[in-house]
């Protein structure tokens, strides 16, 4: 699967978009160029591929706020 075909969901605005549509932002940090991608709708950097949503939910459901199972 190519990067342009990956469908993502934003955790802030809950919008769906293709990974290729994410906004690319470049900035300098200690003489290195950092490339960040963000949601094209709200600008949030917190988005996940929809193919990993089930896997992330499984991990989150097995842990509690105090670290016990």
Does residue 67 lie within any of the structural domains? no
Please indicate, yes or no, if residue 24 is contained in any of the structural domains.
Answer: yes
The answer, yes or no, to whether residue 68 has pLDDT greater than 80, is no
In a domain, 45, yes or no: yes
Answer whether residue 14 shows pLDDT above 90: no
Whether residue 30 lies inside any domain: the answer is: yes
pTM, rounded to two decimals: 0.62
- Which residues span the domain enclosing 51? 3-61
What total number of domains does the chain contain? 1
Residue 46 included in any domain: yes
For the residues 16-36, what does the mean pLDDT come to?
90
Residue with the bigger pLDDT between 32 and 66: it is 32
Question: Does residue 28 form part of some domain?
Answer: yes
pLDDT at 69: 54
**CA 18 – CA 5 distance, rounded (Å):** 6
């Amino acid at each position: 699967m190519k990067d342009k075909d990956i469908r993502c969901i934003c955790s802030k605005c809950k919008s769906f978009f293709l990974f290729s549509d994410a906004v690319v932002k470049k900035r300098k940090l200690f003489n290195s160029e950092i490339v960040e991608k963000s949601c094209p709708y709200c600008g949030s950097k917190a988005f996940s591929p929809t193919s990993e949503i089930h896997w992330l939910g499984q991990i989150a459901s097995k842990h509690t706020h105090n670290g016990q199972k």
